[in-house]
Structure 1
Amino acid sequence: MSYQALYRVWRPQAFEDVVGQEHVTRTLQHALLQQKISHAYLFSGPRGTGKTSAAKILAKTVNCENSPVSEPCNECASCRGITDGTIPDVIEIDAASNNGVEEIRDIRDKVKFAPSIVPYKVYIIDEVHMLSIGAFNALLKTLEEPPKHVIFILATTEPHKIPLTIISRCQRFDFKRITANDIVKRMGYIASQSGIDFDEKALSVIARAAEGGMRDALSLLDQAVSFSDEKVTVEDALAVTGSISQSYLNQLAEAIYQRDISNALQTLEKLIQQGKDPSRFIEDFILYFRDMLLYKTAPGLEEAIERVMLDEEFRQLSEVISPEQIYEFIDILNKTQQEMKLSNLARIYLEVALIKLCEVKAVQQAGGEDIKQLMRELEMLKQELNILKANGIPQLQEEKSASPKKTARISNKGYKAQTGKIQEILKDATKQDLNLIKSRWGDMLETLNSRQMRSQAALLNEAEPVAASSTSFVLKFKYEIHCKMAMENAKFLEAVSIILSEITGIRYHLVGVPEDQWNIIREDFIQNQKGEGSSEDTTEEDPLILEAKKLVGAELIEIEDN
């Protein structure tokens, strides 16, 4: 065939052509100039990142007639012979198909012979992790102490499969995934040199689909050139890579923001009819929201954005969608992606995920409207307070300062505790019932959180049970507003009662009370008990017990009859 694939034509022939691996090429160049060449190297990293190319460049550079140099000249007989594979002293071995003990023993027997043409005999063993255990053992001693004229270069995509005894005998270089920007630059150069007309955005689509591999990117570019008419467009790149057009992703994000489930499902139907892979779609959508989150939180890091192009529609959506919502979106999509791996019903999972995303948006928007309403009411209260101050509030403040006890009573009118019920509970309260609830209180809070009731559980952060009977208990709140919110939430009260019933086996009725009101109700109850002078409880008359109650409080006193 006269035609050669782009990745073969443009295979790097010098270290400067190896894209995105400066940490490797610079180290090797310095070692070559200083003639500090190791006897064994291990190149590891993802596919298509330049491992084998760097190995051949190293073989050429160390055998170049102009050495020591940092780059091969690619003009001398040695460089040209190694490039076209006519020099037998540079041996490339595919360990995937030559992974037995016999092949390695053959290398071990021939390695002691001096090179015939160039100064160094170089063995490049690709996919070295495919060697058998016996082959690794056969290679071990030779790799540790080879003749001075031999260099081993091992290349692998899975270094964890190589025995540590082999790794410890090599200089290891880890090749990393090439960034999308570096891939776009290299593809642009190659396309320009090859006379290919292209759209810059099309190269970006191909670079993202390549997932950090330069060889994959050039193979996709080859396909896009064959698919296109005269110019490689974004549509051509999307068709070849199977990626989702950003316009579709923008439409879906807009539908989710508008809570338009119908539009979201229709857009998904169009993508499926176009033959888009559901797994690829959900991966693109996760990256879309990931890039949106980065753009919102760190707009200066545009080079970190992997999937999206910063068009006007994307910028507008980024302004109205909050980071909290994006966290929820990514979480739902990630869970859906995991579930899809275990099922053949990918489409159903996608449809359910889109509906969930729209529902999350609705909840977030409802919360926003509530906050706006509260802000409006707060502003109205401020205006009313200013009017009252202008019409005699100072006199009211003087009256309040003259009677501080009344002030405390008036401030509690926001929520009035159920005094009668609390006193009934106190009459039947026992230490054992209170200890039972307190001992399981932490379990109850954990259960509330696990059932997605975190906001309700937050109300109980500053609350504690202070009295309990066999059927009811009193819950003291540090803040009156928390008590009011809790006691007016029937769903919350029912949940606490059910969870305590599951944990303790007893269905309790909860009665809430703010801390300052609790102190008053408790003191009134103690005084009433004193006034009654019940003959049934003679310990109330004991002056020592009365004095102890004054000092530490009645709830901390436990009386035992001897």
Structure 2
Amino acid sequence: MAYQALYRVWRPQTFIDVVGQEHVTKTLQNALLQQKISHAYLFSGPRGTGKTSAAKILAKAINCERSPVSEPCNECAACLGITNGTISDVLEFDAASNSRVEEMRDVLDKVKFAPTSVQYKVYIIDEVHMLSISAFNALLKTLEEPPKHVIFILATTEPHKIPLTIISRCQRFDFRRITAGAIVKRMKLIIDESGINCDERALQLIARAADGGMRDALSLLDQAISYSEDQVSIEDALTVTGSVSQGFLNKLALAFREKDVASGLEALDELLFHGKDPMRFIEDLILFYRDMLLYKTAPNLEESLERVMLDEDFRVMAETISMDQIYQLIDLLNKTQQEMRWTNHPRIFLEVAIVKLCQMEAKQTVQAQPAQMEELITRIGQLESELQHLKANGVAAVMQETAPQAQKSAPRTSKKTFQPAVGRINEVLKQATKSDLNAIKTNWGELRASLLKSQAALLNDAEPIAASSTAFIIKFKHEMICQMAMSRTDFLDAVVAALHKLTGIRFTILGVPEDQWLPIRESFLNSHDGAEGETSEATKEEEPHIAEAKKLFGAEFVEIID
């Protein structure tokens, strides 16, 4: 029989074999026992974390002859047939190579037919995000209301590419990256069952290189077994994964600490001579110092270390380096990594980085010597005695007395109010006539219509109240609006230009708030008792009942008799 890869031989056949996904398997097992099976599931997560394996296990558990069960028996005809792929009612559809709508419709046309061998038809659609939009649309209605004997299980590594209308019709389960410890535990079981000799440090190295994927870990283990002779050593694992040994990283870190440029460059030459990838090397170096930083801050979190194993050399190195130095090293290595991505000569940037790291000056805090500490303590005692002396002489009392005075002398900020030009308003009132005011009021509506909306809005609660042949006064209901209008040159120029177009006269505009207009008017009348009747009449403000009468009957039909 042909040789099968380890990840195929040791593919999980029960939920308990799915490593690191207890939050998914426990939910599915409870649903199976309670017979609360959904019509559609979505399994999403990184590659090699057990999505397709869990889908096949679920298909077997649903159709197991001993159901309801939390685990398939793997002994009945249904379980064996699904495992061997001889039951056509459980279909595994690869969306990556069958992404067109025609292929999807060909599958969906057979959904309505009842299963022939088992109780449920199960459609496992792998890499479902590769389907075209038309294929998704064809799947949509069937996925929402499939026949009672059909269950869909969708698997994907990129759920963000799936339409939300599809996701909302499925129960979603997110598979997580598997921890290095769980991967090592699973690989130990495999090598023990297979009778293979393997160094535990090699397993740890392979697990960290797998980046959370069990399939990747088993593939690397398979390669390491083929590469080795009698026993898988850590050197075999380093060769297969392309990683740099921790001893080499410790040697390089020692060169950085001792500022030995020659040793650092020699180690780099040896590394590149053995065919190591510069990008992979600098990534390993960054992870080395990252793990050192985590070890110094949280020594108990050994599981969070991604690259290193806690040997004696690493512990000694971590104790002799400061946190600031680690920050500097990681920062420089990260910048070098970014530069290496856009060059055809990454080795040059790597050599420059090695030289910089060997010549880096640590930003260490200056620690005081015992003699200096004694001098500082003496000086602090003198300052404390001087402070007590000042308090005894009343300095504190003087400060308490002067504080309220400082608060009283603080300048008061008063609200700035609009100050109308009273003198210019009085000059307009002296020459004001009713005919001039009526001429402006007649054109007031057209004037507002010709202005911009932002300019016309300033005249919503404003009206002309007095006018001469060259100027007129606008009364504003609100002081703030008056101040805003009189300070905007674009508004004043627009009003003057509009009136000039309507009347042929270029008027000067004066503004006054409503609450300030009455005192100004009364003061003017009192100081000009002998003024012309027409002027006095022009400055009078209409009574409310007169204004209401004009609105009801029209100004031309209302005659006012004093």
TM-score interval for Structure 1 and Structure 2 normalised by the shorter chain: 0.5 to 0.7
Instruction: Write the deviation string for residues 61-107 of structure 1: whole angstroms up to 9, x where unpaired.
Output: 00000000000000000000000000000001111111101111112
Match of 1:456 in 2: none
Q: Which runs of 4+ in 1 moved over 4 A?
A: 382-386, 395-405
- 1:334, 1:252 → 2: CA distance? 17
Aligned 1:229-248 pairs, distance under 5 A = 229-248=229-248
How far did residue 264 of structure 1 move? 1.3
Distance change in 2, residues 1:310/1:396 (3 Å): closer
Say which SS state the counterpart of residue 342 (structure 1) adopts: coil
1:381 to 375, 379, 384: 375
How far did residue 285 of structure 1 move? 1.0
Distance change in 2, residues 1:264/1:55 (3 Å): same
Match of 1:212 in 2: 212
Distance change in 2, residues 1:50/1:401 (3 Å): closer
- Please say if residues 261 and 358 of structure 2, whose CA atoms lie closer than 8 Å, have aligned partners that are also in contact: yes
Aligned 1:505-520 pairs, distance under 5 A = none
Aligned 1:56-455 pairs, distance under 5 A = 56-360=56-360, 362-364=361-363, 367-368=364-365, 371-372=366-367, 374-376=368-370, 378-379=372-373, 381=375
- 2:379, 2:239 → 1: CA distance? 65
- 1:397, 1:324 → 2: CA distance? 37
How far did residue 188 of structure 1 move? 0.5
Distance change in 2, residues 1:404/1:263 (3 Å): farther
- 1:349, 1:142 → 2: CA distance? 56
Say which SS state the counterpart of residue 239 (structure 1) adopts: helix
The yes-or-no answer on 1:43 pairing with 2:7 is no
**Alignment RMSD:** 2.5
Say which SS state the counterpart of residue 363 (structure 1) adopts: coil
Q: Which 5+ residue runs of structure 1 have no aligned equivalent?
A: 406-562
- 1:95, 1:402 → 2: CA distance? 88
Distance change in 2, residues 1:17/1:376 (3 Å): same
The yes-or-no answer on 1:7 pairing with 2:7 is yes
Distance change in 2, residues 1:275/1:404 (3 Å): farther
Distance change in 2, residues 1:22/1:384 (3 Å): closer
Letter in 1 for 2:359: E
Distance change in 2, residues 1:116/1:309 (3 Å): same
- 1:98, 1:399 → 2: CA distance? 91
- 1:77, 1:396 → 2: CA distance? 96
Match of 1:464 in 2: none
Say which SS state the counterpart of residue 92 (structure 2) adopts: strand
How far did residue 400 of structure 1 move? 10
Letter in 2 for 1:126: D
How far did residue 287 of structure 1 move? 1.1
Say which SS state the counterpart of residue 125 (structure 1) adopts: strand
How far did residue 345 of structure 1 move? 1.6
- 1:2, 1:190 → 2: CA distance? 19
Distance change in 2, residues 1:135/1:383 (3 Å): closer
- Please say if residues 210 and 216 of structure 2, whose CA atoms lie closer than 8 Å, have aligned partners that are also in contact: yes
Match of 2:20 in 1: 20
Distance change in 2, residues 1:288/1:398 (3 Å): closer
Say which SS state the counterpart of residue 155 (structure 1) adopts: strand
- 2:238, 2:209 → 1: CA distance? 9
Distance change in 2, residues 1:384/1:11 (3 Å): closer
Distance change in 2, residues 1:385/1:191 (3 Å): same
Question: Is 46-55 or 374-383 further displaced after alignment?
Answer: 374-383
How far did residue 363 of structure 1 move? 3.3
How far did residue 329 of structure 1 move? 1.4
How far did residue 357 of structure 1 move? 2.3
Letter in 2 for 1:363: A
Q: Max radius of gyration: which structure? A: 2
Q: Percent identity?
A: 68
Distance change in 2, residues 1:85/1:384 (3 Å): closer
How far did residue 398 of structure 1 move? 12
How far did residue 356 of structure 1 move? 2.6
- 2:31, 2:394 → 1: CA distance? 85
Report the TM-score, using the length of structure 1 for normalisation.
0.67
Say which SS state the counterpart of residue 372 (structure 2) adopts: helix
Distance change in 2, residues 1:264/1:119 (3 Å): same
Distance change in 2, residues 1:119/1:377 (3 Å): same
How far did residue 385 of structure 1 move? 7.0
- 2:218, 2:119 → 1: CA distance? 34
Instruction: Write the deviation string for residues 280-304 of structure 1: whole angstroms up to 9, x where unpaired.
Output: 1111111111111111101111121
- 2:219, 2:388 → 1: CA distance? 85
Distance change in 2, residues 1:382/1:50 (3 Å): closer
Letter in 1 for 2:196: I
How far did residue 358 of structure 1 move? 2.7
Distance change in 2, residues 1:401/1:177 (3 Å): closer
Instruction: Write the deviation string for residues 504-535 of structure 1: whole angstroms up to 9, x where unpaired.
Output: xxxxxxxxxxxxxxxxxxxxxxxxxxxxxxxx
How far did residue 338 of structure 1 move? 1.7
- Please say if residues 295 and 301 of structure 2, whose CA atoms lie closer than 8 Å, have aligned partners that are also in contact: yes
How far did residue 134 of structure 1 move? 0.6
Say which SS state the counterpart of residue 110 (structure 1) adopts: coil
How far did residue 323 of structure 1 move? 1.5
How far did residue 324 of structure 1 move? 1.8
Match of 2:525 in 1: none
Say which SS state the counterpart of residue 116 (structure 1) adopts: coil
